[in-house]
Amino acid sequence: MLDLSGKVAIVTGASRGIGRAVAVLLAARGAQVVAAARGDHAASTVEAIQSAGGHADLAQVDVTDGASVAAMVAGALERHDRIDVLVNNAGIARDQLLMRMKQEDWDQVMATNLTAAFQCSQAVIKAMMKRRAGRIINVSSVVGQSGNAGQTNYAASKAGLIGFSKALAREVASRNITVNVVAPGLIDTDMTRDLTAKAQNDWAAQIPVGRLGSAEDVAGAVCFLASDEASYITGHVLAVNGGMYM
Ligand code: NDP
């Protein structure tokens, strides 16, 4: 079993969905998790981890605010003196056809899904370089690979994450820091729960595995990339999509 004992992992968007499942699994494998979301939204994740005997603490962050990101990382370093793993998971969708998309919906999606990964990565990279060890895992999407009508902003942000990750992977590989991407398909979380039952069934029909993915399906992939077993994998895009896009 993958062992993350002694590792300190920041997970953004840890209040629910994929981020929560990632935080819970990393902690179950022994990591000290810094569970980050807005306000005290990730408090119940921290409680769940602690009541299962794991280690976690709460961090408040708005990932679209550079000062807030810097404070979150500084706080984590102060408490734990190291950061081994950063999971850039926080994300939003503001879907609309291009013709009708508001500038604000473009800007907000880019800020949350792409610029935040730049800021969080920049905030942790010095500490990782100093220790000559680190794992950055960026949560992209199948939509960043395939495109999807009504999601030009979301697809651009998620495709951007892939390019960002490959470029950074090259910059920091010699310091024993890996940068990888997990690209989930259609996962059953708040983000997709608004889809009608019919839409969910239509989507599922396009997925060879025949079902929506779970947050835990994605967490397993993130956990692997965070582990020592994945130390020779960098700049990789790991699809967790039930075969939806190959
Ligand atoms: P949810 O909507 O369930 O959760 C989103 C998370 O992001 C919440 O924890 C939320 O925290 C956090 N977040 C959003 N905006 C901010 C912000 N400004 N500052 C801090 N935290 C923020 O989404 P999912 O779990 O479904 O998605 C997680 C990631 O996976 C996203 O990047 C998404 O794009 C990606 N993804 C999801 C897929 C799916 O089908 N569900 C498919 C492919 C990719 P708060 O409590 O503060 O709102």
pTM here?
Answer: 0.98
Catalytic position from the list 154, 218, 227, 239: 154
Mean pLDDT by 10 residues, the chain (246 residues): 96 98 98 98 98 98 98 98 98 98 98 99 98 98 97 98 99 98 97 85 90 97 98 98 97
Top mutation candidate among 11, 16, 86 for ligand 1, by most atoms within 8 Å of CB? 16
The reply to whether ligand 1 has any atom less than 6 angstroms from the CB of 17 is yes
**In sequence order, what DSSP letters do the residues of 42-105 get, joined into one string?**
THHHHHHHHHTT-EEEEEE--TT-HHHHHHHHHHHHHHHS---EEEE-------B-GGG--HHH
State which amino acid sits at residue 44. S
Q: In the prediction, which pLDDT does 200 show?
A: 83
CATH number corresponding to 8-239: 3.40.50.720
* Extents of the domains making up the chain: 8-239
CB 112 within 8 A of CB 66: no
